[in-house]
Amino acid sequence: MDKVRIRGIEAYGYHGVYAEERALGQTLVVDVEVGCELRQAGLSDDIHDSISYVDLVKMVKEVVSETQFQLLEAIAETIAARVLDVPRAQNVVVRVEKPRAPIPHLTGTVSIEIVRQKG
């Protein structure tokens, strides 16, 4: 299956289990990979036969910036559901990363990844 892949969508939101995270907010980084048929887009050279990168980025930014969740899993599920509403989308992989999670001794990032498909 063909794919539209976007890596490194940064958006600021107020998410987390701890009240401080929800009050101060933080930047999350989201990757989206959408399985779809792209042959017609390749032949027609018409954006209407593809899935718009711009629309996907806007969708992710809206979920992260305009909603509030405790868990990264809930953010990923919401993004996946919105992406699968796009007519050409057949499946989606969503990874949500929290670069500066407030966990003692953690110098890296935490992330979750989900895979969902239509139906």
Question: Which residue is catalytic, options 3, 58, 61, 98?
Answer: 98
Question: Is residue 118 annotated as a catalytic residue, yes or no?
Answer: no
Token pair listed for 104: 């003692």
CA distance 113 to 33: 11
Decide: 30 and 112 in contact? Cβ < 8 Å: no
Residues contacting residue 70 through CB under 8 Å, at least 6 positions apart? 15, 16, 17, 22
Length in residues, the chain = 119
What stretch of H or E contains 36? Answer: strand 26-36
Sign of the alpha-carbon dihedral angle for 101, 115, 91, 45? positive
What per-residue confidence (pLDDT) applies to 106? 84
Per-residue pLDDT, 101? 80
pTM summary value: 0.94
Q: What is the pLDDT of residue 107?
A: 84
DSSP per-residue string spanning 59-118: HHHHHHHH---S-HHHHHHHHHHHHHTSTT--EEEEEEEETT---TT--S-EEEEEEEE-
Mean pLDDT for back-to-back runs of 10 residues, the chain (119 residues): 97 93 93 97 96 97 97 98 97 95 85 96
Q: What would the two tokens of residue 78 be?
A: 């919401």
What pLDDT is recorded for position 52? 96
